[in-house]
């Protein structure tokens, strides 16, 4: 298995774990649709009231699983490939290559939302990415993080 396939497997597995563990809480709305980003955002806002009481491993797992879920929504909607962003220590989705480079990193936004930062609204964030990913301008190099 190549590194790229390993990253694909890791991201999709984490996204699937998010669905398995949170689907009941989400009312069955975690379906990898763009609309489900709002469901994830709402759950993070709700959880932000309790995050201080959660074990660090639970928080890390939640961030990674929901961050990967958002990445997988992006990949299913716009294609692209996963890579490992060594400096950011997280997976990154790259869309539009080789003509353009539109990249998405999600873990820091999920952390922000989980810790109560209203500026890290996932719907707004993902919409910005979606606009660029839907019609990537040739020669563009954009990173959403």
| Three-state secondary structure call for residue 71 | helix
Q: Are strands 81-85 and 90-95 parallel, antiparallel or unpaired?
A: antiparallel
The Cβ of residue 92 has, within 10 Å, a number of other Cβ atoms equal to 23
Is 44 a residue whose pLDDT tops 80?
Answer: yes
Q: What is the pTM of this model?
A: 0.95
Domain boundaries, the chain: 3-144
Structure tokens at 65: 């699983």
State percent of the chain over pLDDT 70: 98
Each residue of 2-19: pLDDT tens digit? 576 899 999 999 999 999
Each residue of 50-98: pLDDT tens digit? 999 999 999 999 999 999 999 999 999 999 999 999 999 999 999 999 9
Q: Compute the distance between CA of residue 86 and CA of residue 34 in angstroms, rounded to an integer.
A: 27
């Amino acid at each position: 298995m190549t590194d790229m396939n390993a990253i694909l497997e890791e991201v999709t597995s984490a996204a699937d774990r998010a669905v398995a563990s949170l689907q009941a809480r989400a009312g069955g709305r975690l379906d990898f649709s763009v609309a489900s980003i709002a469901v994830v955002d709402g759950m993070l806002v709700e959880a932000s009231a309790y995050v201080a009481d959660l074990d660090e491993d639970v928080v890390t797992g939640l961030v990674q699983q929901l961050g990967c879920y958002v990445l997988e929504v992006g990949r299913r909607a716009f294609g692209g490939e996963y890579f490992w962003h060594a400096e950011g220590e997280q997976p990154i989705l790259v869309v539009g290559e080789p003509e353009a480079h539109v990249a998405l990193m999600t873990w820091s936004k999920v952390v922000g939302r989980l810790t109560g930062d209203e500026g890290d609204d996932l719907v707004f964030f993902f919409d910005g990415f979606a606009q660029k990913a839907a019609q990537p301008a040739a020669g563009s190099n954009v990173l959403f993080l």
